[in-house]
Amino acid sequence: MLHGLMVVNAFLRTTKFDDIYHTLLSAAHGEGMELDVRTNAELCCETATGAFAAGAFDFVLFWDKDVQLAWQLEQLGMRVFNGASAILACDDKALTWLRLRRAGIPMPRTILAPKTFANVGYPQVSFAAEAARALGFPVVLKECFGSFGQQVYLFHDVDALCQKVQSLAGTPLLFQELIHESYGRDARINVVGGRVVACMLRQSTDGDFRSNLTRGGAMAPYSPTRAEAELAVRATELLGLDFAGVDVLFGRDGPLLCEVNSNAHFKTTLECTGVNMAVEIMRHISRRLEG
């Protein structure tokens, strides 16, 4: 019997997260696997002092974004799903764009904001106006670290854009063109072990440009085109992911990659498609470890 460790965040104690953890535990047990749960707060000292018994586990299911801890576990010789570098590449939208652009993955045109510091701010934001001119209005502004569409903004004029950029000084930002053909809708393509296992169409119901279900969007089962499926799988391969939720936009000339989620919430995927991502993930881990 495989014995794994599931790492979760000590401070995200909400029903939404607890439901995910319970589903993963149930799937592990259903696949004949034992899975212990520890938080990043419980492990931070143990991994640094040598008190952690890494040899007691066959694998780590890392359901958190504490990349430094994931790296520590890897340095102890543990097999971590997903790996630290893959989690980092997804968590930072700028890094996602940089890594995938190099490989020719089609994405919306993007401009990274220059780095500043919170105690310095942006004394001038002419770069924001220049980025908007290059990309065209309306323009999307994203915080590089954020989830559920909560740190994504749309601006129709330069004054409002510049004011927002100044208010976020010290926060990593990027500017992105709005894909009009995909306004308020996208495809969430779930990939496990290099294959598409489930997909749904997400649609805004309030006229917002974001389709996130957390914001009240609607969902429906969706069969991705070959190009959409290949794009999602290729992105996960390039980022070194074992499993991911890939958000794909409907561009005028074909699909465009929007974001990649290393720890995608999948309750809505189960409700929409009937596919239990937790089971798919556990089976993938078993195949990887047992051949």
Domain holding 171: CATH number?
3.30.1490.20
Whether pLDDT at 231 is above 80: yes
Predicted confidence (pLDDT) per residue in 42-93, tens digit: 999 999 998 999 999 999 999 999 999 999 999 999 999 999 999 999 999 9
191 vs 280: CA distance, rounded Å: 9
Q: Does residue 61 lie in a domain region? A: yes
Whether pLDDT at 214 is above 70: no
Percent of the chain at pLDDT > 90 equals 91
Question: What is the structure's pLDDT at 207?
Answer: 76
Whether pTM > 0.85 for this model: the answer is yes
Predicted confidence (pLDDT) per residue in 106-141, tens digit: 999 999 999 999 999 999 999 999 999 999 999 999
Regarding whether 122 and 84 lie in a shared domain, the answer is: no
Q: How does residue 216 score in pLDDT terms, banded at 50, 70 and 90?
A: low
Q: Does residue 103 lie in a domain region? A: no
User: In terms of residue numbers, what domain contains 132?
Assistant: 110-178
Q: Does residue 101 lie in a domain region? A: no
Regarding whether 220 and 129 lie in a shared domain, the answer is: no
Regarding whether 286 and 196 lie in a shared domain, the answer is: yes
Count of the separate structural domains present in the chain: 3
Regarding whether 169 and 238 lie in a shared domain, the answer is: no
Q: What is the CATH number of the domain that holds 195?
A: 3.30.470.20
Q: Does residue 171 lie in a domain region? A: yes
Regarding whether 208 and 142 lie in a shared domain, the answer is: no
Which of 17-21, 32-36, 214-218, 235-239 shows the lowest per-residue confidence on average (mean pLDDT)? 214-218
Q: Order of strands across the sheet with 59-63?
A: 34-39, 3-8, 59-63, 80-81
Regarding whether 189 and 274 lie in a shared domain, the answer is: yes
